[in-house]
Amino acid sequence: MLNISHNQLNKTVALETYSSFRKVLHKNHSKWFSRFIGVFAIVGILILFLPWTQNVSGNGFVTTLTPDQRPQTIQSQIPGRIEKWYVKEGDFVQKGDTILFISEIKNEYQDPELVARTNQQRDAKSRSVVSYQEKIKALENQAAALGNERSLKLSQAKNKLAQAKLKVTSDSIDLEAAKTNNIIAQRQYDRTQTLQEEGLKAMTDVEAKRLKLQETQAKLISQQNSLLASRNEVLNANLEISRISAEYGDKIAKSLSEKYTAESNQYDTEAQVSKLNNQATNYRMRNELYYVTAPQDGYINKAIRGGIGETFKEGERLVGIMPANYDLAVETYVDPIDLPLMHLGEEVRIQFDGWPAIFFSGWPNASFGTYGGKIVAVETFISENGKFRILIAPDDSEGIWPQNVRVGSGAYTIALLEDVPIWYELWRRLNGFPPNYYQPDGTQTTKDQKK
């Protein structure tokens, strides 16, 4: 009653006359209520001392144990146009089975005889390599012949030089003899003239000696000319040797230059042959890519690009496939504060979406419909959702997981930690403290390992 009226109902109406008032305000009710409160308090206190299993929970989904067993999409390494489908969604394919056939859309690859024409270009270049090799051999033979001819010419010129030097020596000796004859003739002439002046020789003797002196002088001059000519022949022989060396050196250098040019052309042609071989191989492998095949045994999930004549780019997803053979695992996420409590081999209880379960997080022994697992991988870098990824595999010591669980189904995971009293767990949660840090059996901290 808000007492907004001056007419007080409790003064005008007697509540004791009603049976409901007598039942509610009975004196025994308060006694039973006090007993109930006392029993409830005692039971509550006892419950606080019951054991409670600390745990770290997380939401995840079903995946596969290894990356090659997970659903994947099939892409084409080259752009193209869809020409024919060989499968439909839901079909089972084996590794290497053809899924679809595509055709080329780039102009430079549309020639159906592209591989054959490239092989013809390669063969032509290969024959050019052989021609260059033969030319190199011919130039090597030419250089060798020029070298031999130069040796012969030099030998001939050296022989002429030796002859000229010997002739110089001979002419020098003849010159000395002519000088000696000239001196003797001069002396004889002088003596004969002296005797003629004394009247001991006739004038004819003087004239004979003068004639002989003139002859010896003429021979001396002639011998000097011969000596100069011989020396000039020596100079000419030296010049001839130098000329021959220069001439044949130029010819040999020219031949070697042509040889090196031919070798350069040969190497360039060999590089072109190698390039054409590479192109032919690439074209042949590209032709094999026109047939998109299954990378492994599995089921065709969905045709991402459908129809006939539809074009696509390289690397674009065409069809999804689910491997036929796979090992189930659960991928879940935990908060960063709980990451130090996660260890390899840690026991985890899993509740799958769609599978009925009665689950008590603090009393795993009283739970039904959950399945056991063990942690096999702990991610060391935080994910995009701000949590760390944990991979859980089936526990071989417990029952197998449901056969009809599919990859991608939801899963709720609980990692079991230490057993603590309920009052401690309530106190921890009220204060926002993390679960007790501990090491599972068989592991040691880094500090202990260093010791």
pLDDT digits (tens, 9 = 90+) for 66-96: 888 888 999 988 899 999 999 998 899 999 9
Lowest mean per-residue pLDDT among 175-179, 384-388, 410-414, 434-438:
434-438
Same domain, 330 and 444: yes
Q: In the chain, how many domains are there? A: 3
Same domain, 57 and 120: no
Same domain, 256 and 216: yes
Residue 201 CA to residue 191 CA, distance in Å, equals 10
Cβ neighbours for 272, distance < 8 A, ≥ 6 positions apart: 125
pLDDT in tens, 321-354: 988 888 889 999 988 877 877 888 888 888 888 7
Lowest mean per-residue pLDDT among 74-83, 143-152, 175-184, 337-346:
337-346
Cβ neighbours for 438, distance < 8 A, ≥ 6 positions apart: 341, 417, 418
Between 6 and 241, the more confident residue is 241
DSSP string, 416-428: EEEEEEHHHHHHH
The mean predicted confidence, pLDDT, of the chain is 82
Same domain, 273 and 340: no
User: What is the per-residue pLDDT for 450?
Assistant: 36
- Assess whether pLDDT exceeds 80 at residue 433: no
Q: Are 79 and 312 in contact (CB under 8 A)?
A: yes
Q: What mean pLDDT comes out for the span 358-382? A: 71
pLDDT in tens, 7-53: 666 666 666 667 766 666 655 666 667 777 888 888 888 877 777 77
Same domain, 339 and 409: yes
Angle, helices 114-198 vs 203-288, to 10°: value is 170
What's the token pair of residue 335?
Answer: 């908060």
Answering whether pTM is above 0.75, one says no
Between 107 and 391, the more confident residue is 391
Give the domain extent around 97.
Answer: 72-104+290-323
Same domain, 166 and 312: no
Rounded to 5 degrees, what are φ and ψ at 436? -60, 130
pLDDT in tens, 219-249: 888 888 888 888 898 898 899 889 888 988 8
Q: What mean pLDDT comes out for the span 350-367? A: 64
- Assess whether pLDDT exceeds 50 at residue 444: no
Lowest mean per-residue pLDDT among 90-94, 214-218, 306-310, 338-342:
338-342
CATH code of 299's domain: 2.40.50.100
- Assess whether pLDDT exceeds 70 at residue 59: yes
Residue 274: band (very low, low, confident or very high) from pLDDT cuts 50, 70, 90: very high
User: What is the per-residue pLDDT for 43?
Assistant: 85
> Is residue 43 domain-resident?
no
Lowest mean per-residue pLDDT among 235-239, 292-296, 412-416:
412-416
Q: Are 418 and 53 in contact (CB under 8 A)?
A: yes
Same domain, 257 and 125: yes
Matching residue, tokens 């009247």: 199
CATH code of 356's domain: 2.40.30.170
User: What is the per-residue pLDDT for 337?
Assistant: 79
User: What is the per-residue pLDDT for 36?
Assistant: 79
- Assess whether pLDDT exceeds 50 at residue 1: no
Q: Which of 276, 303, 323 is the last residue of a domain?
A: 323
Same domain, 402 and 306: no
CATH code of 134's domain: 1.10.287.620
Q: Are 232 and 171 in contact (CB under 8 A)?
A: no
Same domain, 257 and 369: no
> Is residue 209 domain-resident?
yes
Which residues face 84 on adjacent strands?
Answer: 101
**Quick one: how far is CA 392 from the chain centroid?**
33
